[in-house]
Amino acid sequence: MKQASTKYPYQANGSGQQNVSPSDRQNKIYYCTDLDKSVLINNFEKRGWIHVNSVEDDWNFYWAGIQTCRNIFSLELGYRMNDNQIINHFPNHYELTNL
């Protein structure tokens, strides 16, 4: 069995999530993505960012497709980002360019 890296000492549990204490949570970046692009995932992992599975989880960075942005920020859901969250698209980017 491969040992955990000393640079990133967290072990994944059975669901692929990281076991992290609340104090360590403040010092880590949690990302979510709906795209299976190896260049993104490899970059995030090399930075030591920790993957979460869905928008309902606590995340800091979400790399989403355009349709996902529309769904997340629809009026029906009413989702609003926290101050510590960023996303790769403007939530209403389709409204910004609609003339």
Q: Which of the 8 DSSP states describes residue 30?
A: E
- Positive/negative CA dihedral, 74, 95, 84, 25: positive
Residue type at 13 in one-letter notation: N
pLDDT at 90: 74
pLDDT tens digit at each of 99 positions of the chain? 333 333 333 334 444 444 555 555 567 999 999 888 999 999 999 999 999 988 777 899 999 888 888 888 888 887 888 899 998 887 666 565 555
Instruction: Please indicate, yes or no, whether the overall pTM of this predicted structure exceeds 0.75.
Output: no
pLDDT at 3: 37
pLDDT at 78: 77
